[in-house]
Structure 1
Amino acid sequence: MRYLTPRHRQRLLLVVGAAFIVSVFVLMTLDPDTTTDIPGPRELHGHGIDVPNHQPQSRASVISLPVLNKKQLGNYESRIPPPERDGPGEFGRAVKVELGEGSKYRKSIREFGFNVELSDEISLDRVVPDIRDPECKYWHYPEKLPNASVVIAFSNEGFSTLMRTVHSVINTSPPNLLAEVVMVDDMSDKEHLGKKLEDYIKRDRFQGKVRLVRNTKREGLARSRTNGAMAARGQVVVFLDAHCECSVNWLPPLLAEIAYSRTTVVCPTVDVIKAEDLSYSPQGELARGAFDWAFWYKRIPVDYSDTMKRIGMKYGSQAYDAPAMAGGLFAMDRSYFIELGTYDPGLFIWGGENFEISFKIWMCGGQLKFVPCSRVGHIYRRGVPYKYPVVDGEVSIVDRNFMRVAEVWLDEYKEHFYTFKPRLRGKSCGDISEQVAFRRKHCPKSFKWFMENVAFDSLELFPTPPPNRAWGEFHLKGTSLCLDTMGRQTTTQLLGASNCHGYGGNQEFRLGTNGQIQFDEYCVVPSWDQTKVSMVRCRESHRKVPDRDHWSFSEEAGQIRLKRSNLCMEVVDKKEVRLRDCNSDSAEQKFEVRQVR
């Protein structure tokens, strides 16, 4: 510049300065996620909760996908071997206890749905086994990941199982990635969940990272989780059930997928903690979440190369697409959860929320993935310790929730749902106008698109049901008896008869035009020796019930006849159902179908 005249120097400096300002402006506008519009409290379905004023971490193109390097241990893997521990239940070993009818352990299972009495005898800091694919130890994740709030909703949970969940989250999460644990109490009335819990979470070991939010009225799972997300301060919300245990390095694989794409929602691989002995084991091979037309959650094995390629898998330890989640454990960008309208606030207590959020994610432009290298154990209850109320004396809470999901998201496919549940057709599921309006405004994809592009093999595995020829209770004429599952809806269990009650439940069956008699997802079939009547899952191991096990029903004769035979159902001793030679004169073979309320 010393060869330029003062006048030319001044011009050059002005040009360079202007270019610098323009460059800075362009760089600032390249990242669309620097600021995010967050709906105000009035837009959040009337929750009336102030949204914390923070912005999500900028996730520009500098964030890369995880990298697999089999020659170098992953950057979030611990270099310290797990501690040697030999207490009861350590490393997921089963603890054998007396489960006789009068034992304290059996009483505990009845009260909570799992063995809390045994849980009290196991360390809250127990270590679970590392059963990840060996490849998982060699994944390298971005150094800069969003932090997370773990939201745990509970109602009358056992103290030790609840707090073991909290201990596990804190013990296995990198401190810089765990913003907090938000516990949401849904109107518990057990003494140990009062002041004892409040004092416990103030302990120094938690370093103020555990917060307790109490609902002022019974909200149920979906609304409690929404309340927790609204109170959360982390950039990502991770929802866990209140009886979980996290495995080694579970959190970074989830956050890495969200860091790369904020509209990706991720689920860890769920392992099984057995309700009776608290042993820890894998649930099975890798699977995608799916559903049948009665809204039973299903697992589809990832077992052939074409599927792996279609769902984005190059390695067996890589995250992959799934149509639906089980719903208990998942993570998503907090602001994205709000943008999707959170959960439908009309979903009460439990049921259907997993399908609602799954359909909403896919049909509104997001993506749902399962992450094999993130593993979390979950206790599967033996029944639930609370009862589901009935709405308007007609529809159970669970069925009402399912109806809301079907009416908002399934389009013409909802007819298949009502074929499975004909009693619900024409019943009210409450006001869904807000949900319908949200979908019209924000979700351009149809359910047909979802079935063809996301759940592409579901119709092959779970075909649409044939129309119902008859449905209701199969009443033995001239008596007060009806066919009844006797609460035995498991493979090889026998069909029976009991007093008719008119409320459906275990006495509500469907006879399809194809000749199948079904109760929910179970088909009524002859026993192996064709003397009794049993129930099997209609597509056990993805094989359908053969035609020879179908039935015909004559309203005139009242007989339920096994096709291609001369065998009919007959009630014996007012409680058993047998297959006997068809006899038009036998009063024990004459049925009528009566619709239930």
Structure 2
Amino acid sequence: MIASDQISLDRSITDLRHEECKFWHYDETLPKASVIVVFHNEGWSTLLRTLHSIIRRTPTHSLAEIVLIDDASTKSHLGLQLENYITRWAGIVRLFRNARREGLIQSRSIGARHATWGEVLVYLDAHCEVGINWYTPLVTPIAKNRKTCTAPLIDYIDGNDFTMESQQGGDEDGFARGAWDWSLLWKRIPLNEREKSTRAHCTMPYRSPAMAGGLFAIDREFFFELGLYDPGLQIWGGENFELSFKIWQCGGTLLFVPCSRVGHIYRLDGWVGNPPPLHVGSQPTLVNYVRVVEVWWDEYKDYFYASRPETRSLDPGDLAPLHRFRREYRCKSFRWFMENVAYDVPLHYPLPPKNVDWGEVRGKGTSSCLDSMGRKDGGEVELGICHGMGGNQLFRFNEAQQLMQYDQCLTHSTDGRSVIVMHCNSSQYGHWQRNGNLFVQPSLGNCLDRTEDSGKLLLKACQAEAPSQQWEMNHVSGL
């Protein structure tokens, strides 16, 4: 916020669009939008810069209203000070306040009910800056087919200095499709040749199996036909997948729009988010994931449970109304979706093998456990004090002889001196064996070893009775 407060609310931003985007011509008679922004204890200047950018860069004849949903904020600047500030826009910005904290997901559904002036609902996070000519390309596909949902390309605003750059990854043009690993973590995969071949120009909208969920546009009536968000999803997490699957399986289309760009401030290191309110369990996101896979994944849900074995004991609540909706709306199967839309996801994130064992990997007779410390793709694994909460200390040993965490496999560094995690597929890093309490790498003749004093993990010649090579896997709930 120190950096943000020093920057103009009406600053100019870098135009990151592909050069081709500057020459498209669009129909100007597009449906009007209700732009919905949900916030909880948002910073003053980041929220206002979001509003200023929407009003400055959206065609006046296309912007019906901006609906602000205050999700029980406690910061004083979001009270009367905000109410007074938005009066300058002569009623186009409307503010509604939740009586209690409902979370991002249900607040978006609340926003849809309040947003009655526009034909299209556009959702933006409260720390965004829309780009040049962002609206018209985003809504044009919806004007052609009301069962189309669109998402802009999301550029990266650095929270330290507020510079803006294109999101990394994707193909040679930076274009990516939204995807997931089988533990339901959000991923991006390069736009493939099959999808490219369906378009006459490289900046035309393209199909995506999933969206990130914070920034998208959808026809208001279609969103209500889909039942908005599952009312059982709480706070944050999984709602982007629930809506993506529901759109595709129930007759809609999800498109990414390269010529619509929106900058977004991502969390800085160390920021863990706001804790859930007391009326919600400690980790609602995992329950959300279970609800999503139980309703939409059909037989594929077994792959989720292989990746998240600790969630099998969770109670997802009443799912009968959602299953009834699927039947009555004649929604397609998840297998159809995987074969026709998300066919490339398993190429990047293969279907996981069955687990032989899972849980914390604890040094036998100690309070030390393997801990990835949240690292990935070459990050070093260390010893940490066992906390029994899963997360970075939950590993899986599967039938492919992989020792995994999410989509990462335990292996050795190139110099063989440390133990690291790397993104793996079904043919990589399958070189662990369980021999009693030993984790053995047969190709090297080494065993997983530890140095308690330094918290260092090592690979050393196997010694069946060495205390530092004795390990046990204990199931944990993750809650």
What range describes the TM-score normalised by the shorter chain of this pair? over 0.9
Q: Which residue identity lines up with residue 128 of structure 1 in the other structure? A: I
Structure 1 counterpart of 2:171: none
CA deviation string 1:203-262 (max 9, x = no partner)? 2xx232111010111111111111111111211000001110011110011121111111
1:195: how far off? 0.9
1:336 matched to which residue of 2? Answer: 222
Name the structure 2 match of 1:225.
108
Q: Is the 8 A contact 1:265 1:368 kept in 2?
A: yes
Which residue in the other structure is 1:14 paired with?
Answer: none
- CA drift of 1:392 comes to 8.7
Amino acid at match of 1:433: A
Aligned to 1:526: 412
In 1, Cα distance between the equivalents of 2:139 and 2:371?
48
Q: Are 2:475 and 1:595 equivalent residues in the alignment?
A: yes
Cα-to-partner distance string for 1:487-538 (whole Å, 9 max, x where unaligned):
2423332211122222222211101111111112222110111121112223
Alignment of 1:417-566 (within 5 A): 417-485=304-372, 487-538=373-424, 546-547=428-429, 550-554=431-435, 556=436, 558-566=437-445
User: Is 1:408 equivalent to 2:295 in the alignment?
Assistant: yes
Contact 1:222–1:343 (8 Å) recurs in 2: yes
Is contact 1:390-1:397 (8 Å) kept? Answer: no
- 2-structure distance, mates of 1:536, 1:275: 28
Tell me by how many angstroms 1:138 deviates: 1.8
Give the C-alpha shift of residue 295 in structure 1.
0.7
SS in 2 for 1:570: strand
Letter of the 1:295 counterpart: L
Secondary structure of the residue that 2:316 maps to in structure 1? coil
Could you say which residue in structure 2 is the equivalent of 1:256?
140
2:263 counterpart of 1:377: yes
Asked if 1 retains the 8 angstrom alpha-carbon contact of 2:36 and 2:67, the reply is yes
CA distance in 1, matches of 2:274, 2:46: 17
- What does 1:305-324 align with in structure 2 at a 5 Å threshold? 306-309=194-197, 312-324=198-210
Distance 1:226-1:242 versus aligned 2 partners, 3 A rule? same
Deviation of 1:474 after TM superposition, in Å, equals: 1.3
Name the Cα RMSD after superposition: 1.6
Partner Cα distance (1:369, 1:214) in 2: 32
Which moved further from structure 2: 281-290 or 149-158? 281-290
Deviations 1:260-307 (A, max 9, x none): 111010001111111221110111401111111111111121253x33
CA–CA distance in structure 2, aligned partners of residues 426 and 480 of structure 1: 25
List structure 1 runs of 4+ shifted beyond 3 angstroms. Answer: 388-393
Q: Is the 8 A contact 2:195 2:206 kept in 1?
A: no
Equivalent residue letter for 1:167: H
Where does residue 41 of structure 1 map in the other structure? none
TM-score by length of 1: 0.76
| Identity within the alignment, % | 46
Structure 2 residue aligned with 1:174 = 59
Aligned length: 468
Tell me the residue number matched to 1:135.
20
SS at the partner of 1:463? coil
One-letter amino acid matched to 2:179? A
Structure 1 counterpart of 2:86, from 181, 196, 201: 201
Q: Secondary structure at the match of 1:479?
A: coil
> Which one is further off, 362-371 or 520-529?
520-529
Q: Check the 8 A contact 1:246/1:375 in 2, yes or no.
A: yes
Q: Closer, same or farther in 2 for the Cα pair 1:392/1:353, shift >3 Å?
A: closer
Aligned-partner SS, 2:313 = coil
Q: Report the CA distance between 1:461 and its aligned residue.
A: 1.9
The alignment status of 1:287 with 2:176, answered yes or no, reads yes
Amino acid across the alignment from 1:497: L
Local SS of the residue matching 1:365: coil
| Alpha carbons of structure 1 residues 339 and 510: separation in structure 2 relative to 1, 3 Å | same
Contact 1:136 1:373 in 2 (8 A): yes
**Aligned letter for 1:176?**
H
Residues 294-336 of structure 1 show CA distances to partners (whole Å, capped at 9, x for unaligned) of: 11111121253x3312xx3221110111110010100011111
Q: CA deviation at 1:545?
A: 6.5
Residue from 271, 277, 296 that aligns with 2:185: 296
Normalised to the residue count of structure 2, the TM-score between the two structures is 0.94
Gap runs ≥5 in structure 2: 169-173
Q: Could you tell me how far 1:391 is from its partner in structure 2?
A: 8.9
1:162 aligns with 2:47: yes
Once the two structures are TM-superposed, the CA of residue 444 in structure 1 deviates from its matched residue by 2.8
Is 1:570 the counterpart of 2:449? The answer is yes
